[in-house]
């Protein structure tokens, strides 16, 4: 994982939830949540289920609705959470307090944008415009990078005495972080302490990050040491992982390992979520420690009885980065027998690893085995293999692999083949391939990218080599508004008179 991206993930916005919650109805009793939970598609409305519940004479408890909203937010099902919140308000089931208004405002911001959140806030009664609703609107501005509005709103919060929580200060530090103004973050932390607002874990972590991204290891360590000395702070795995990441970037392997050991000590052994293990595995892989990667994977399997596809993808990428393909194949086998839903991104990790190391035949065999067993393969899967063959100079195999990629019949054409791979294959087809192969390849390729001069040139070269007529191609070029250039004329000059 890219170190900068990893750091960004590790200091994730304070309102994000690292866990992957799922509500379990252990008694198999039909509840309102059990009716709503399966409606996971973003396009499905939960309002009909809510109305049906009431129409059937069943009671609705405010606490249950709030729990549903909370859980839907954790699952990033914001539109449905907003529907529940609007429904309970419109039905008069719950008279919103400032806290409920704050949650509702936050959902509006996530679903409809900061302007809609602004309108909602402005229409609130004065008694509902508290630190909670002001803070929710500030978070909307920060989340959508509205710097001027956020600063102006923050100044008003200061004037009204609402800038009194670490949550609000953290938002401003996030604002500066999002804008790349890392040097301003420590000043916000200093202001917090000056105003007797106790920094929390996130406050310190984002400040540690602000020094790390500027390669100021001394400053980073100074804040980390201060954090460790605070009695109200319980050190967490995440903070030490952030520090370890920057130690790795700075080439300080010993300090990185020490930080990772401290991070591991802070892991909650009762936590069923694999996020912490995933980050530590990625960091140890960057350090090149196979033993630590495998050890943590075993700990993760022991602690997290349910491992989702993301966990398998993470450890596969780590093992591939280390070049440990035998272990990676074993993990792939574990995934296949795990009962998890099939996700082509999991085997693609190994496919990409093989291809990057020049083991393209192994990558090809893996895909063929999946196809034989009736598993779906993506365009990207064969595209990766094609790129690998191109890199080792086996153009004929690159052509066949890309041909397989282009022939996969799936809905949507979002995938685009890698330009350098297409260029290499088209050049090979023009110089060595048959005109029939070139024509078939270009016909398939046109389903994904517009006709280009490069594609016409491949066809022209193949036909000229075989002494075939090219008048139709030249007409096609003109229709596609592609004038003959020097390269076109050079190809045409090769025709036998």
- Rounded distance, CA 442 to CA 433, Å? 12
Which pLDDT value is given to residue 15?
38
* Number of separate helices (H) and strands (E) present in the chain: 28, 0
Question: With 0-12 CB in 10 A as exposed, 13-18 as middle and 19+ as buried, what is 423?
Answer: middle
Other C-beta atoms within 10 Å of 159: how many?
A: 9
Looking up tokens 């409920």 gives 100
- Please give the pLDDT value at position 13: 41
DSSP string, 75-98: TT-HHHHHHHHHHHHHTTSS---H
Of 381, 320, 402, 382, which Cα lies nearest the Cα of 356?
320
Q: Give the model's pLDDT for residue 413.
A: 57
End-to-end CA distance of the chain, in Å?
57
| pLDDT at residue 92 in the model | 86
Q: What is residue 314's predicted lDDT score, i.e. its pLDDT?
A: 97
Give the per-residue SS3 of 179-201: CCCHHHHHHHHHHHHHCCCCCCH
What pLDDT does 26 receive? 45
Q: Where are the domains of the chain?
A: 267-339
Question: What are the tokens at 186?
Answer: 């420590």
CA distance 158 to 194: 14
Exposure of 448 in the CB half-sphere (CA atoms within 13 A): 24
Low-confidence ranges of the chain (pLDDT < 50): 1, 3-4, 7, 11-27
How many other C-beta atoms can be found within 10 angstroms of the C-beta atom of residue 268? 11
pLDDT (0 to 100) of residue 25: 44
Can you tell me which residue has the tokens 């990185």? Answer: 256
Instruction: Assess contact for 415 and 448: CB atoms under 8 A.
Output: yes
**Which contacts (CB < 8 Å, 24+ apart) does range 325-334 have?**
325/350, 325/353, 325/354, 325/357, 325/359, 325/362, 327/290, 327/294, 328/353, 331/297
The residue among 471, 454, 453, 460 whose CA lies nearest residue 433 is 460
């Amino acid at each position: 994982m890219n170190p900068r991206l990893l750091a960004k993930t590790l200091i994730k916005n304070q309102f994000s939830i690292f866990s992957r919650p799922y509500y379990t109805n252990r008694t198999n009793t039909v509840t309102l949540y059990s009716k709503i939970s399966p409606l996971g598609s973003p396009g499905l409305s939960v309002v009909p289920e809510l109305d049906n519940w009431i129409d059937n004479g069943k009671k609705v408890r405010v606490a249950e609705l709030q729990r549903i909203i909370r859980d839907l937010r954790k699952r990033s099902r914001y539109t449905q959470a907003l529907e529940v919140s609007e429904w309970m308000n419109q039905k008069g089931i719950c008279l919103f307090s400032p806290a409920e208004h704050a949650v509702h405002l936050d959902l509006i911001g996530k679903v409809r944008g900061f302007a809609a959140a602004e309108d909602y806030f402005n229409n609130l009664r004065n008694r509902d415009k508290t630190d909670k609703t002001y803070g929710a609107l500030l978070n909307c501005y920060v989340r959508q990078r509205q710097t001027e509005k956020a600063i102006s709103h923050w100044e008003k919060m200061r004037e009204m005495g609402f800038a009194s929580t670490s949550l609000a200060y953290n938002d401003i530090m996030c604002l500066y972080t999002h804008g790349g103004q890392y040097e301003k973050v420590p000043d916000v932390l200093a202001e917090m302490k000056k105003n007797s607002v106790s920094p929390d874990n996130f406050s310190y972590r984002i400040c540690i990050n602000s020094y790390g991204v500027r390669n100021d290891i001394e400053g980073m360590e100074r804040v980390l040491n201060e954090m460790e000395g605070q009695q109200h702070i319980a050190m967490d795995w995440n903070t030490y992982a952030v520090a370890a990441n920057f130690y790795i970037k700075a080439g300080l392997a010993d300090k990185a390992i020490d930080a990772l050991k401290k991070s591991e000590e802070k892991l909650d052994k009762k936590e069923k979520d694999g996020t912490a293990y995933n980050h530590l595995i990625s960091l140890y892989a960057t350090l090149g420690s196979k033993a630590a990667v495998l050890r943590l994977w075993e700990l993760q399997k022991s602690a997290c009885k349910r491992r989702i596809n993301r966990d398998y993808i993470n450890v596969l990428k780590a093992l591939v980065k280390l070049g440990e393909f035998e272990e990676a194949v074993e993990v792939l086998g574990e995934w296949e027998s795990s009962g998890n839903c099939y996700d082509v991104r999991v085997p693609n990790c190994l496919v990409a690893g093989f291809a990057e190391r020049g083991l393209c035949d192994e990558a090809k065999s893996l895909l063929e085995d999946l196809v034989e067993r009736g598993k779906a393969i993506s365009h990207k899967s064969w595209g990766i293999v094609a790129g690998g063959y191109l890199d080792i100079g086996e153009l004929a195999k690159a052509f066949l692999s890309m041909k397989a990629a282009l022939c996969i019949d799936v809905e949507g054409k979002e995938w685009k083949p890698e330009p350098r791979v297409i260029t290499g294959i088209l050049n090979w087809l023009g110089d060595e391939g048959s005109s029939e192969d070139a024509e078939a390849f270009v016909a398939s390729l046109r389903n994904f990218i517009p006709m280009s001069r490069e594609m016409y040139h491949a066809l022209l070269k193949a036909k000229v080599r075989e002494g075939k007529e090219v008048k139709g191609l030249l007409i096609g070029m003109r229709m596609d508004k592609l004038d003959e250039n020097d390269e076109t004329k050079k190809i045409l000059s090769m025709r036998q008179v």
